Amino acid sequence: MAGLEVLYTCVAGNITCPQDAVVCFVHWELIKNGYRCIGSGDEARSSDKKSELLPADWSNNKELYSLRYKANNSDTQMLLKAITVDSTLIFNLMNSSTQQVSDLTVNINDHVNTDQLHTFDSVFKDADSLSEKVKTQLLPPLDRPTGQRAERKSQRDEEEEAQRRRGEDSDPLRIPSRNPRQGTHPHWPDPMVPPFAAGGADLDPFGSRGGGGMIVDPLRSGYPRSGFDPSSGIPDILPPGAVPPGARFDPFGPVGRHRPGPDPDHMPPPGYDDMFM
């Protein structure tokens, strides 16, 4: 508590109640953490200046204390208010720029000997505990340069994301997400290019890559053909051009204008006398 005794001795004439002692203690914690008091009240004054001491009128109102502070290494301004409620003091510390507020409730009887207000050695009880409460509950975290803070946050986010992905990939029961991750898309080989050409003919109905999609293509089965070209048309059946050149074509009957023998569709079989036959 180096320095607190000097401060307490300087303002001892203004300390007339236990809440004065607690406010003096919290003020010194702010000083130790890089702030300087610039005045009392809510509004700035022309006489404001940075100081480790408390202003002359700091304890005029025993029900509501109001003090303003400014950081040593920045323009950050803080407004400290302490409200007396029965045997407790409720502190509120607000950042004037961001409007962020922190608070602390102190039970006066737990930390101050009321009958020892003018004896520094015995006025405070459990000072270490009170100091820890002020640091963890009331004071804001120590300021860092904005760029450094943003860079560290970005690195931390990247590390957490990488760790999360490693955990997902190692979980054998995890159902993969339907949404693909951001990044480069996988390379899918062309099914028409060897060695992935198997089945490629199914995607090429016109046979431009050298084969139709049928497993057994009657026009490409390897058996001798008579030179029949369906694209030139089939007399009395298909006009020329009905079948695109090189397209797969299934003959649907004997090819040719004249077929040998009688047409079974035109003449009844011998001995036909049953209409249900």
Residue 31 is part of a domain; what is its CATH number?
Answer: 3.40.1000.30
Q: Is residue 45 part of a domain?
A: yes
Predicted TM-score (pTM) of the model is 0.52
Q: Is residue 70 part of a domain?
A: yes
Q: Is residue 267 part of a domain?
A: no
Q: Which domain holds residue 78?
A: 4-138
Q: Is residue 93 part of a domain?
A: yes
pLDDT given for residue 146 in this prediction: 41
Q: Is residue 53 part of a domain?
A: yes
Q: What is the pLDDT of residues 26-48, one digit of tens each?
A: 999 999 999 999 999 988 888 88
Category of 143 on φ-ψ map: left (φ > 0), alpha (ψ -120 to 50) or beta: beta
pLDDT category at 147 given cuts 50, 70, 90 is: very low
Q: What is the pLDDT of residues 208-250, one digit of tens each?
A: 555 555 555 555 555 555 556 767 777 767 777 777 776 776 6
In the chain, the number of structural domains is 1
pLDDT given for residue 143 in this prediction: 47
pLDDT given for residue 117 in this prediction: 93
pLDDT given for residue 3 in this prediction: 85
Q: Which amino acid is at 20?
A: D
Residue 70 has pLDDT above 60, yes or no: yes
Q: Is residue 111 part of a domain?
A: yes
Helices (H), the chain: 4-10, 18-32, 108-111, 120-123, 127-133, 146-169
Residue 255 has pLDDT above 60, yes or no: no
pLDDT given for residue 201 in this prediction: 56
Q: Is residue 233 part of a domain?
A: no
Q: Is residue 107 part of a domain?
A: yes
CA nearest neighbour of 27 among 66, 60, 54: 54
Q: Which amino acid is at 4?
A: L
